[in-house]
Amino acid sequence: PRASNPRPPGRRSLGIVTTEDEPTWLAPERSDAAETALSVLTQADLEPVVDMVLLARDGAYEARTHHGAVRFSRADNTYTELTVEGRHPLSDQSSDKFSSLADEQTNVHPQRHDNAYPNAYDQIAQLFDHPSAPDLCVIHSAAHNWEDQGGHRGEHGSLGIVQARAPFVLAGPGIRSAGVVPRSARLVDVAPTVLELLGVTPLANGDHLANQDGVVRHDVLDSSTKPKHVVMFLFDGTNPMVLYDMAARGEAPNVARLIEMGTAYGHGAFAGLPTVTLANHTSILTGQLPGHHGILHNAWFDRQKNEQIITNSNANWPWAMQHVHAGVESIHSAVHRNEPGAFTASINEPCDIDADFSTFGFLRAGEMPPLPENPAELPHTTERFVRPSKDYSWSSTIDHMGVEQAVGVLSGHYRDVSYPLPRFMFANFTLTDAAMHEGGPYSEIAAAAIRDSDARMGEIIKAVERAKIFDETAFVLVADHGMEETNPAVRGDWAAPLRDAGLNLRDEGYGFLYLNA
């Protein structure tokens, strides 16, 4: 056995160092069903759609595939490989693979032995720290084109590097001006870095948030100055290599402006497993991984309550934060802890814990903000796609509404209410995710979505300038996960063969298997 993949500093709370969370080990009464499911999922005929299967049992974690397996343990913040059978499925955990658009497109939907899985051991272990972790987690292949989701040409959710990799750009006072640098970060690093940038006093243990998993990225900070305000943008589901390439070619001028002013992580910032929307929106804003903050997936099963939890439907998004674990803090929480009179704003973002202004606060109060009637007539909207595509149309409408709110707050007035200038503002844009799912990350519809979103971001930056606080404002741009091109020929899933094996199970969020449930 050899020590491998040292774990980041252990989770802490309010200045007291604690041990790791108690993992959710596979229950003995489900062991036989798990073995049956593993034998089905690792058969050769499912190899095109199943990348690997993850589980936690008998004091160790496993990643199993058709060609091999690895078993490893966690202790004292370090991971130790216990056994390797056949071909090691997680042998490449590098963060710099496919780190240019040309390289990524040359290696479209890579096979497992050609792929990389950054932070894989920590990714797997944190998932099973959640009390409602699945018995088995099925990771879909890079090529898999989900039929149940309408045959998406772009996909995410897995451990693979392209699906996990998000852009991360910082600019303005307090940020080094280095352009694109050949380094990577993690999305859980965003919150502590923003709080350090804002001058928020750390807790007694040196962390900025209770139980944070991330670290402050001092490599990008310039300690000689601090901003008075931070405005943060999220381009949901954006492939960073596509974004950086478009910025370099002048097709995303506002993104290019931020990169020129500051620093962009060329190898990206990596999402937590599962690499899906709300799990990682919450990670970005809390500094905790999905298995720790409580938003485990878009859908999961709570065995104790015998209840399916769904967070990503239109009906449930406004109330999704009820599922975060007790004591979870957001950037908004920490800013208020440090400055009780500070004002913060959350624009079109479900993870709005302790925000003073929140789009979803209006929805919870039954006050839907006004929506434009004709999306095709909106500014910064590509008519070629907004008319035929329902998702492009809806996301354009929502993102336009978000711009109106952000610009209104920055001007001091929105819907006849006066607001102070925000110490921290978070603005979420959804169009990029919808377009990259529909056409894939390299498509014309994806490029149009980036251009539209870049222009909308530019409107908010102009509002910062009109408020005469541009020189006092730092900007951050991230995504919640990446987006990978799928293979239209690789359809189907594992449901039928599992049923044929006589297994009684729930498959939540596409890949979270709960046996005998």
Asked if pLDDT for residue 3 goes beyond 50, the answer is no
CB distance 234 to 480 below 8 Å: yes
User: CA-based angle 183:186:187, to the nearest 5?
Assistant: 130
Q: What is the pLDDT of residues 70-80, one digit of tens each?
A: 999 999 889 99
Question: What is the pLDDT, as a whole number, of residue 123?
Answer: 97
pLDDT band at 148 (very low <50, low <70, confident <90, very high): low
Q: What is the mean pLDDT of the chain?
A: 94
Band of pLDDT at residue 4, cut at 50, 70 and 90: very low
Amino acid at 36: T
Instruction: Judge whether residue 13 has pLDDT over 70.
Output: no
For residue 341, the Cα-to-chain-centroid distance in whole angstroms is 30
pLDDT at 150: 59
Indicate whether this model's pTM tops 0.85: yes
Cβ burial 446-462 (10 Å sphere, 16+ → b, else e): bbbbbbbbbbbbbbbbe
- Write down the pLDDT at residue 147: 59
For residue 284, with 0-12 CB atoms within 10 Å meaning exposed, 13-18 middle and 19 or more buried, which class applies? buried
What's the pLDDT tens digit per position in 26-52? 999 999 999 999 999 999 999 999 999
Taken in order 319, 321, 326, 329, is the CA torsion positive or negative?
A: negative
Comparison of pLDDT for 148 and 243, the residue scoring more: 243
Strand segments, DSSP code E, in 280-373 are: 299-302, 307-310, 344-347, 357-358
Q: Are strands 307-310 and 299-302 parallel, antiparallel or unpaired?
A: antiparallel
Q: Percent of the chain beyond pLDDT 90?
A: 91
Higher pLDDT: 259 or 3? It is: 259
Do residues 87 and 132 touch, judged by C-beta distance below 8 A? no
Predicted pLDDT of residue 491: 87
* pLDDT at residue number 475: 99
Q: Is the pLDDT of residue 16 over 60?
A: no
Q: How far is CA 191 from its chain centroid?
A: 13
DSSP 28-82: GGGHHHHHHHHHHHTSGGGTTTEEEEEEEETTEEEEE-SSEEEEEEEETTEEEEE
Three-class HEC string of 254-275: HHHHHHHHCEEECCCEECCCCC
Looking only at the bridges linking them, the beta strands covering 344-347 and 424-429 are parallel
Beta bridge partners of 137: 54, 512
Average pLDDT over residues 136-144: 96
Nearest Cα to Cα of residue 58 among 83, 37, 93, 88? 83
Span 115-124, mean pLDDT? 98
How many Cα atoms occupy the beta-carbon half-sphere of 366 within 13 Å?
0
Closest to 123 in 3D by CA, of 234, 283, 361, 263:
283
| Cα 98 from Cα 114, distance rounded (Å) | 10
Q: What angle do CA 511, 516, 517 make, to 5 degrees?
A: 70
Query: Which of 172-186, 254-268, 360-374 is least confident?
Result: 360-374
What six digits make up the tokens of 39?
A: 């034998």
> Peptide bond before 369: cis, by omega within 30 degrees of 0?
no
pLDDT over threshold 60, residue 7: no
